[in-house]
Amino acid sequence: MTTDEHLALADGQDHDVAEWERAAAAVLRKARRLTEDDPDDAVWGRLTRTTLDGIGISPLGTPALVADLPDPVRPPARGDGWDVRGLLADPDAETSAAAALTDLENGVTSLWIQVGESGVAVDDLPRVLADVLLEVAPVVLDAPSDPIGVATRFAELAQGVTLPPGTNLGVDPVGAVLRGFETLPSTGSGPARGSSTTVVGQAAELAQELGCRALVVDGTTVHDLGASDVQELGYVLALGAHYLRTLEAAGIGVDEAAGLVEFRLAATDEQFETIAKLRAVRRSWARMLELSGASEDRRNMSLHVVTSRPMMTKYDPWVNMLRTCVAAFAAGVGGADAVTVLPFDARLGLPDAFARRIARNTSTLLVEESHVAKVADPAGGSFAVEKLTDDLAVAGWEELGRLESAGGVLDALEDGSLQARIDTVVAERDRQIARRQRALTGLTEFPNLHETLPERAPYAEGALPVRPYGQPFEALRDAPAEAKVFLATMGTIAAHTARATFASNLFAAGGIDVVNAGRHDDTEAVLKDFTGPDGGQQVVCLVGNDQAYAEWGTDLVQALRDAGAAWVVLAGKADVGADVGADDTVAMGVDALDFLTRTREKLA
């Protein structure tokens, strides 16, 4: 690049939005996504992606997007990197103790321990932490079944120790109730305000004695149940406000209260939404503390980010390495202070040593080799990300308003209004996944029906509840169909392979195997294989091009019926299927889950 060219780039934008519209429109017209009569600016509607919260993600960042936005709230510099936080949940004390040391010796800088019904028994906590230097490695507890009992036991272990920054008793009584643990005395049918106040007050008193944090505002609680980004934002803000009020009632000022709280949010493989969500929560919490009268230097937050549990799949678990890597990258770019990368086999059970190593090395590679943490706010100044951050912050604040209008987060849980909104999001996500508009690689797309899954030990009986995104498809894979579908391939490989591949992948996503005998040039060739040793299936799927369907599709359908086929499917348009007499059709955009359920019924 010459000096003149470098200066031309540095001087500013040499091309306006209209030029981009013309160039983008030309590509869309070539792809037949725009007609010749559509105006160039129609590209915005075609390329803008909408989140589950109805927020549009612009295909192009422009200065106009950020012209009227407030200044961002940036995270503090992280020095050499973020806190790499390893999760321990194995109820076997010896295994957890060994895993803790292995993690700390190989890149992990703090431990997050699930204790009680969801993991390590409280009586085993001393063994798990026996060789951990508590004055060096921060420990974050997670004991929804007995938060104060576990915190008290930890305090006994930490007597005389100056605990490092980041240590947290991890108490979250509201989240514990939402996860289904009976941790609050006399809760009745819902969380009791008096009980929550008591638990929070006890945790704060104990934390002040130890010199550590007391509470976790855990957004993964609702995220794991299917909540959207905005719902997670609104929930943590409402819960943070609830804990501030509770601490104030206990005589703790807002500055000190802010220092007792840590936030925990989920990071998904939708990297831009995750980056914007983390930037938005930091800005929103700073605003809440400002309105609460907190000193300016106490308005930052401690942010722990965990790679999403529900985004992970049980089948083809190796793909989870890619998902968690993208999510961890987004967490780092979004300004996380601590990051937990869940092992890729976490959906199968307790992770093995290899999976734990890959998980901790993900952060190491991002920090040490990619230098993601060198800049405090890498996404700052990006027009598109700044706009998305603002949109999420505004929408999250509105969700906070809905929760407050219900009387606060406790009332919103008791009256079911929060759960109802989450259920609406879950239904829409399920609809998009069912229609394969939201792909899950290895599950709804490119499934391997004949894979052998790694075997893992089960979690503790009280493991935290998770509603996986691919749950409906995983249920089909859990009980694969015994019978197969016969693919009636019509014509040359070039003529049928696209639809044969599409149909095979779709059937496999529903736990249905196929018989593909290869090329068939006429009805007689199809019938020969259909009635042969590998034939005789009740369900047949025609796969070919439209020309083959028109020329000999009708005769083939009738011949297959005469030969014993009970249900005939055509891979193609519904009107073509009707013309040839097929019972059902399948094509891009159909409700795949509904189609697979129908097909399995016919196979049965």
**For 351-361, how does the pLDDT look when each residue is reduced to its tens digit (9 = 90+)?**
999 999 999 99
Segment 519-534, tens digit of pLDDT:
999 999 999 999 988 7
Mean pLDDT calculated for residue range 126-143:
97
Residues 407 and 554 in one domain: no
In the structure encoding, which two tokens stand for residue 27, read together?
């590509």
Min mean pLDDT across 141-150, 185-194, 236-245, 282-291 is at: 185-194
Residues 6+ apart with CB under 8 A from 575: none
Residues 6+ apart with CB under 8 A from 72: 279, 283, 377, 380, 386, 389
- Whether residue 72 lies inside any domain: the answer is no
* Percentage of residues in the chain having pLDDT higher than 70: 96
In the structure encoding, which two tokens stand for residue 503, read together?
């149909």
- Whether residue 564 lies inside any domain: the answer is yes
Q: At 21, which amino acid appears?
A: E
Answer yes or no: are the C-beta atoms of 362 and 324 closer than 8 Å. Answer: yes
pLDDT at 183 over 50: no
pLDDT at 100 over 90: yes
pLDDT at 1 over 80: no
pLDDT at 143 over 80: yes
Nearest to 243 by CA among 263, 220, 267, 266: 263
Residue 400 gets the label, from left (phi > 0), alpha (psi -120 to 50) or beta, of alpha
Residues 6+ apart with CB under 8 A from 524: none
- Whether residue 534 lies inside any domain: the answer is yes
Residues 402 and 490 in one domain: no
Choose the final residue of a domain: 412, 439, 454.
412
- Whether residue 64 lies inside any domain: the answer is no
Residues 109 and 208 in one domain: yes
pLDDT at 191: 42
Q: How many whole angstroms separate alpha carbon 277 and alpha carbon 604?
A: 46
SS3 content of the chain, % helix, strand, coil (to 5): 50, 10, 40
- Residue 531 has phi, psi (to 5 degrees) of -95, 5
Q: How many whole angstroms separate alpha carbon 117 and alpha carbon 145?
A: 6
pLDDT at 190: 41
Residue predicted with more confidence, 394 or 68: 394
In the structure encoding, which two tokens stand for residue 447, read together?
């499934």
Neighbours of 538 (CB within 10 A): 15
In the structure encoding, which two tokens stand for residue 527, read together?
């019938």
Residues 174 and 292 in one domain: yes
Enter the pTM of the model: 0.93
- Per DSSP, what are the bridge partners of residue 571? 586
Q: How many whole angstroms separate alpha carbon 452 and alpha carbon 124?
A: 34
With tokens 């540095």, the residue in question is 10
Q: Residue 218 — pLDDT band, cuts 50, 70, 90?
A: very high
Residues 209 and 103 in one domain: yes
- Whether residue 339 lies inside any domain: the answer is yes
Vertex 464 angle, CA 460 and 468, to 5° = 115
Residues 180 and 323 in one domain: yes
Answer yes or no: are the C-beta atoms of 223 and 265 closer than 8 Å. Answer: yes
Nearest to 433 by CA among 525, 341, 543, 311: 311
In the structure encoding, which two tokens stand for residue 558, read together?
């009738």
Q: How many whole angstroms separate alpha carbon 247 and alpha carbon 253?
A: 8
Residues 314 and 169 in one domain: yes
SS3 236: helix
Q: How many whole angstroms separate alpha carbon 460 and alpha carbon 266?
A: 22
Q: Report which secondary-structure segment, H or E, holds 283.
A: helix 271-291
Nearest to 327 by CA among 340, 314, 313, 345: 340
Alpha-carbon distances, residue 463 vs 222, 257, 310, 346 (angstroms):
15, 30, 14, 12
Residues 228 and 100 in one domain: yes
Answer yes or no: are the C-beta atoms of 327 and 268 closer than 8 Å. Answer: yes
Alpha-carbon distances, residue 422 vs 51, 228, 504, 550 (angstroms):
14, 7, 34, 47
Choose the final residue of a domain: 375, 391, 412.
412
- Whether residue 44 lies inside any domain: the answer is no
pLDDT at 188 over 70: no
| CATH code of residue 534 | 3.40.50.280
SS3 567: strand
Answer yes or no: are the C-beta atoms of 508 and 447 closer than 8 Å. Answer: yes
Q: DSSP label at 491?
A: B
- Per DSSP, what are the bridge partners of residue 87? 112
Alpha-carbon distances, residue 221 vs 77, 392, 424, 428, 472 (angstroms):
28, 19, 17, 20, 21
| CATH code of residue 89 | 3.20.20.240
pLDDT at 187: 38
- Whether residue 422 lies inside any domain: the answer is no
Min mean pLDDT across 169-183, 219-233, 407-421, 425-439 is at: 169-183
Choose the final residue of a domain: 412, 435, 464.
412
Answer yes or no: are the C-beta atoms of 485 and 599 closer than 8 Å. Answer: yes
Answer yes or no: are the C-beta atoms of 595 and 539 closer than 8 Å. Answer: no
Residues 373 and 495 in one domain: no
- Whether residue 444 lies inside any domain: the answer is no
Residues 408 and 538 in one domain: no
Angle between helices 471-478 and 493-509 (to 10 degrees): 90
* Percentage of residues in the chain having pLDDT higher than 90: 89
pLDDT at 177: 87
Q: Residue 6 — pLDDT band, cuts 50, 70, 90?
A: very low
Rg (CA), the chain: 28
Q: Residue 197 — pLDDT band, cuts 50, 70, 90?
A: confident
Q: Residue 193 — pLDDT band, cuts 50, 70, 90?
A: low
Domain count, the chain: 2
- Domain holding 341, by residue range, is 83-412
Residues 351 and 204 in one domain: yes
- Per DSSP, what are the bridge partners of residue 325? none
Q: How many whole angstroms separate alpha carbon 170 and alpha carbon 141?
A: 5
SS3 215: strand
Nearest to 473 by CA among 298, 594, 336: 594
Residues 403 and 489 in one domain: no
Question: Across all residues in the chain, what is the average pLDDT?
Answer: 93
Mean pLDDT calculated for residue range 416-430:
97
